Amino acid sequence: MLAVLPLIAAAAWMAAQGNPWPAAVYLAASLVAAGQQCSDKRRAREGGFRIAETALHGVELMGGWPGALLAQAVLHHKTRKWSYRIPLWGIVALHYAAWAFWLAR
């Protein structure tokens, strides 16, 4: 969960500069991602139709990766599935690269 701390700092800095949108987008997308993880975990237990990993990754890419990481840690969902985790951490790296580019300009 330490991966989320620099994002929180950057979003808080931007909000203090008068631009609350990054924090709002990350929060909203994180709530959706966490909800998806909860729903997928429930469906896995009940043997129902699962949420496609591409749908999970799509919300993570839109900024929901902090919520996905939190839900993954709390629910112990998809913690051993490397075919899911590698793209998730690639999305995290992509977001960090975008923030570094944005803050460095």
Mean pLDDT confidence for 91-104? 91
For residue 60, being part of any structural domain is answered with: yes
pLDDT reported for residue 53: 95
For residue 2, being part of any structural domain is answered with: no
Q: What is the percent of the chain where pLDDT is above 90?
A: 68
Task: Give the chain's domain count.
Answer: 1
Read off the pLDDT of residues 32-53 as tens digits, 9 standing for 90 and up: 999 999 999 999 999 999 999 9
Residues contacting 91, CB < 8 A, separation 6+:
57, 60, 61, 65
For residue 1, being part of any structural domain is answered with: no
Q: Decide if pLDDT at 84 tops 80.
A: yes
For residue 44, being part of any structural domain is answered with: yes
| DSSP string for residues in 2-33 | GGGHHHHHHHHHHHHTT--HHHHHHHHHHHHH
Domain enclosing residue 99, as ranges: 7-14+23-104
Read off the pLDDT of residues 5-33 as tens digits, 9 standing for 90 and up: 887 888 888 889 898 998 899 999 999 99
Distance CA 91, CA 3 (A): 12
Read off the pLDDT of residues 48-75 as tens digits, 9 standing for 90 and up: 999 999 999 999 999 999 999 999 999 9
The pair phi, psi for residue 80, each rounded to 5°, is -110, 0
pLDDT reported for residue 12: 83
For residue 33, being part of any structural domain is answered with: yes
pLDDT reported for residue 1: 66
